[in-house]
C-alpha cells in the first residue's frame, strides 16, 4: 500500500490548488488539498 500512497500523493504535486484565498483560506479546501491520497485517508479514517 505504501507505493500506492506515494503514487497518489506524487500525482498531484506541482498542480495549483484552490484553497479559498491566500490569507483567509477555507479550512475544508485546505484539508482536502493536504490529504491527497485516498488510500492513506481510508487508513487514517479506520483508526478513529
pTM for the full model?
0.65
pLDDT at residue 21 in the model: 94
Contact between residue 24 and residue 30 where contact means Cβ atoms under 8 Å apart: no
Our count of domains for the chain comes to: 1
Q: What is the DSSP letter of 5?
A: H
pLDDT, tens digit only, all 48 positions of the chain: 899 999 998 988 888 899 999 999 999 999 989 888 999 999 999 997
Cell 500512497 -> residue = 5
CA–CA distance, 48 with 10 (Å, rounded to integer): 26
CA–CA distance, 43 with 29 (Å, rounded to integer): 20
pLDDT at residue 20 in the model: 94
Give the domain extent around 16: 2-47
CA–CA distance, 44 with 3 (Å, rounded to integer): 16
Amino acid at each position: 500500500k505504501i507505493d500506492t500512497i506515494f503514487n497518489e500523493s506524487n500525482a498531484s504535486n506541482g498542480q495549483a490548488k484552490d484553497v479559498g484565498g491566500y490569507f483567509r483560506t477555507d479550512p475544508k479546501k485546505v484539508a482536502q488539498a493536504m490529504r491527497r491520497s485516498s488510500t492513506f485517508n481510508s487508513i487514517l479514517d479506520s483508526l478513529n
